[in-house]
Structure 1
Amino acid sequence: MLKTLKAYVGEYKKTAIAAPVFIIFEVIFEMIIPLLMSEIIDNGLGAGNINYVVKVGIIMLLVSFASLFCGAMAARQAAIASAGFAKNVREGMYNHIQEFSFSNIDHFSTAGLVTRLTTDVTNVQMAFQMMMRMFTRAPITLIAAMFMAFMINSELSMVFLVALVFLGFVVAFLMSRVGPYFRAMFDQYDALNASVQENLTGIRVVKAYVREDYETKKFKKASEALYRFAIRAEKLMVSMMPTMQFTVYACIIAISWLGAQIIVVGDMKTGQLMSLFTYTMNILISLMMIAMVAVMLSMAKSSGERICEVLNETSSLTDKKDPVMSVENGEITFEDVCFSYQGDPDNLHLSHTNLEIKSGETVGIIGGTGSAKSTLVQLIPRLYDVTSGSVKVAGVDVRDYDIETLRNEVSMVLQKNVLFSGTIKENLRWGDKNASDEELVRVCKLACADEFIERFPNKYDTWIEQGGSNVSGGQKQRLCIARALLKKPKILILDDSTSAVDTHTDAMIRKAFREEIPNTTKIIIAQRVSSVQDSDKIIVLNDGHIDGIGTHEELLKTNAIYREVYESQQKHSEDQEDLPEQQSEGCLDGESECSEAADKSGKGGDADEQ
Structure 2
Amino acid sequence: MLAKLLKAYLPPYRWLLAGVLALQLFGAIASLVLPTLNARIIDDGVARGDTGFIMSTGGIMLLVSLASIIASVASTYLAAKSSMGFGHDVRGAFYKAVGSFSDREFNSFGAPTLITRNTNDVLQIQALVMLTSSMLVSAPLMCIGGIIMALRENLQMSWLLTISVPLLGITVSVVVAKLIPHFRTMQTRIDNINRSLREQLTGMRVIRAFVREPDETIRFDKANKELTDTSLLIGRYQAVLLPTVMLIANLSSVAVLWFGAHLVDTGDMQIGQISAFLAYVMQILMSVVMATMLAVVIPRAAVCADRITEVLDTEPTVPAPAQPLRPTSPYGVVEFGGAGFTYPGAETPVLSNVSMRCMPGTVTAIVGSTGSGKSTLVSLIPRLFDVTAGAVLVDGLDVRGWDQDELFANFGYVPQKAYLFAGTIASNIRYGNPTATDDDIWAALTIAQADDFVRELSDGLESPIAQGGGNLSGGQKQRLAIARAVVRRPRIFVFDDSFSALDMHTDAAVRRELRTVSTHSTVIIVAQRVASIIDADQIMVLEDGAPVGLGDHQFLLANCPTYQEIVASQIPAEMSA
Q: Give the TM-score normalised by structure 2.
A: 0.96
Cα deviation 1:184-225 (Å, max 9, x = unaligned) = 110010010011111111222223333221221111010111
Unaligned runs of 5+ in 2: none
Residue pair 1:5, 1:89 contacting (<8 A) in 2 also: no
Secondary structure of the equivalent of 2:137? helix
Q: CA deviation at 1:360?
A: 2.5
Question: CA 1:106–1:573 in structure 2 vs 1: closer, same or farther (change >3 Å)?
Answer: closer
Q: CA deviation at 1:382?
A: 0.8
Q: CA deviation at 1:53?
A: 1.3
The aligned counterpart of 2:131 is 130
Deviates more, 1:535-544 or 1:454-463: 454-463
In the alignment, the residues of structure 1 paired with residue 64 and residue 417 of structure 2 have an alpha-carbon distance, to the nearest angstrom, of 67
Q: CA deviation at 1:174?
A: 2.6
The aligned counterpart of 1:584 is none
Residue pair 2:24, 2:135 contacting (<8 A) in 1 also: no
Question: CA 1:343–1:433 in structure 2 vs 1: closer, same or farther (change >3 Å)?
Answer: farther
The aligned counterpart of 1:608 is none
In the alignment, the residues of structure 1 paired with residue 12 and residue 332 of structure 2 have an alpha-carbon distance, to the nearest angstrom, of 45
In the alignment, the residues of structure 2 paired with residue 95 and residue 321 of structure 1 have an alpha-carbon distance, to the nearest angstrom, of 18
Q: CA deviation at 1:79?
A: 1.4
Residue pair 1:120, 1:307 contacting (<8 A) in 2 also: yes
The aligned counterpart of 2:331 is 329
- After TM superposition, list the pairs within 5 Å mapping 1:99-118 onto structure 2: 99-118=100-119
In the alignment, the residues of structure 1 paired with residue 487 and residue 554 of structure 2 have an alpha-carbon distance, to the nearest angstrom, of 33
The aligned counterpart of 1:5 is 6
* Mapped pair 1:66 → 2:67: yes
Amino acid of the structure 2 residue aligned with 1:71? S
Higher RCO, 1 or 2 (CA under 8 Å, sep at least 6)? 2
* Mapped pair 1:514 → 2:515: yes
Secondary structure of the equivalent of 1:46? helix
Identity of aligned residues (%): 37
Question: CA 1:347–1:180 in structure 2 vs 1: closer, same or farther (change >3 Å)?
Answer: farther
The aligned counterpart of 1:425 is 426
The aligned counterpart of 1:194 is 195
Q: CA deviation at 1:573?
A: 3.0
The aligned counterpart of 2:549 is 548
Amino acid of the structure 2 residue aligned with 1:501? L
Deviates more, 1:174-183 or 1:287-296: 174-183
Q: List 4+ stretches of structure 1 deviating above 4 A.
A: none
The aligned counterpart of 1:447 is 448
Residue pair 1:334, 1:356 contacting (<8 A) in 2 also: yes
The aligned counterpart of 1:413 is 414
Cα deviation 1:517-565 (Å, max 9, x = unaligned) = 1121111111110001100111111111112112111222222222222
Q: CA deviation at 1:125?
A: 0.9
* Mapped pair 1:496 → 2:509: no
Residue pair 2:414, 2:494 contacting (<8 A) in 1 also: yes
In the alignment, the residues of structure 2 paired with residue 262 and residue 461 of structure 1 have an alpha-carbon distance, to the nearest angstrom, of 84
Amino acid of the structure 2 residue aligned with 1:90? R
Q: Give the TM-score normalised by structure 1.
A: 0.91
| Superposition CA RMSD, Å | 1.6
The aligned counterpart of 1:168 is 169
Secondary structure of the equivalent of 1:412? strand
Deviates more, 1:206-215 or 1:64-73: 206-215
In the alignment, the residues of structure 2 paired with residue 246 and residue 482 of structure 1 have an alpha-carbon distance, to the nearest angstrom, of 70
Secondary structure of the equivalent of 2:319? coil
The aligned counterpart of 2:179 is 178
- After TM superposition, list the pairs within 5 Å mapping 1:472-483 onto structure 2: 472-483=473-484
The aligned counterpart of 2:79 is 78
The aligned counterpart of 2:32 is 31
Q: CA deviation at 1:333?
A: 1.7
Residue pair 2:112, 2:195 contacting (<8 A) in 1 also: yes
- After TM superposition, list the pairs within 5 Å mapping 1:367-378 onto structure 2: 367-378=368-379
Q: CA deviation at 1:575?
A: 3.8
In the alignment, the residues of structure 2 paired with residue 99 and residue 89 of structure 1 have an alpha-carbon distance, to the nearest angstrom, of 16
Amino acid of the structure 1 residue aligned with 2:491? K
Cα deviation 1:310-357 (Å, max 9, x = unaligned) = 22222222222321134612222222222112165x431112222222
Unaligned runs of 5+ in 1: 577-610
In the alignment, the residues of structure 1 paired with residue 221 and residue 137 of structure 2 have an alpha-carbon distance, to the nearest angstrom, of 41
In the alignment, the residues of structure 1 paired with residue 200 and residue 75 of structure 2 have an alpha-carbon distance, to the nearest angstrom, of 44
Secondary structure of the equivalent of 2:157? coil
The aligned counterpart of 2:143 is 142
The aligned counterpart of 1:588 is none
In the alignment, the residues of structure 1 paired with residue 267 and residue 502 of structure 2 have an alpha-carbon distance, to the nearest angstrom, of 100
In the alignment, the residues of structure 1 paired with residue 251 and residue 338 of structure 2 have an alpha-carbon distance, to the nearest angstrom, of 79
Amino acid of the structure 2 residue aligned with 1:337? A
Residue pair 2:124, 2:301 contacting (<8 A) in 1 also: yes
In the alignment, the residues of structure 1 paired with residue 11 and residue 410 of structure 2 have an alpha-carbon distance, to the nearest angstrom, of 36
Cα deviation 1:62-97 (Å, max 9, x = unaligned) = 111111111111111111111121111111211221
Secondary structure of the equivalent of 2:337? strand
Amino acid of the structure 2 residue aligned with 1:364? A
The aligned counterpart of 2:122 is 121
Q: CA deviation at 1:424?
A: 1.1
* Mapped pair 1:267 → 2:300: no
Q: CA deviation at 1:10?
A: 5.0
Amino acid of the structure 2 residue aligned with 1:284? L
Cα deviation 1:345-397 (Å, max 9, x = unaligned) = x4311122222222332011111111110000000011111112111111111
In the alignment, the residues of structure 2 paired with residue 549 and residue 334 of structure 1 have an alpha-carbon distance, to the nearest angstrom, of 13
Amino acid of the structure 1 residue aligned with 2:104? S
In the alignment, the residues of structure 2 paired with residue 6 and residue 122 of structure 1 have an alpha-carbon distance, to the nearest angstrom, of 17
* Mapped pair 1:294 → 2:295: yes
In the alignment, the residues of structure 1 paired with residue 145 and residue 11 of structure 2 have an alpha-carbon distance, to the nearest angstrom, of 32
In the alignment, the residues of structure 2 paired with residue 549 and residue 389 of structure 1 have an alpha-carbon distance, to the nearest angstrom, of 18
The aligned counterpart of 1:21 is 22
Residue pair 2:489, 2:517 contacting (<8 A) in 1 also: no
Q: How many residues align?
A: 575
Amino acid of the structure 1 residue aligned with 2:191? D
The aligned counterpart of 2:405 is 404
Amino acid of the structure 2 residue aligned with 1:334? F
In the alignment, the residues of structure 2 paired with residue 151 and residue 491 of structure 1 have an alpha-carbon distance, to the nearest angstrom, of 82
The aligned counterpart of 1:153 is 154
Amino acid of the structure 2 residue aligned with 1:446? I
In the alignment, the residues of structure 1 paired with residue 455 and residue 338 of structure 2 have an alpha-carbon distance, to the nearest angstrom, of 48
Question: CA 1:556–1:472 in structure 2 vs 1: closer, same or farther (change >3 Å)?
Answer: same
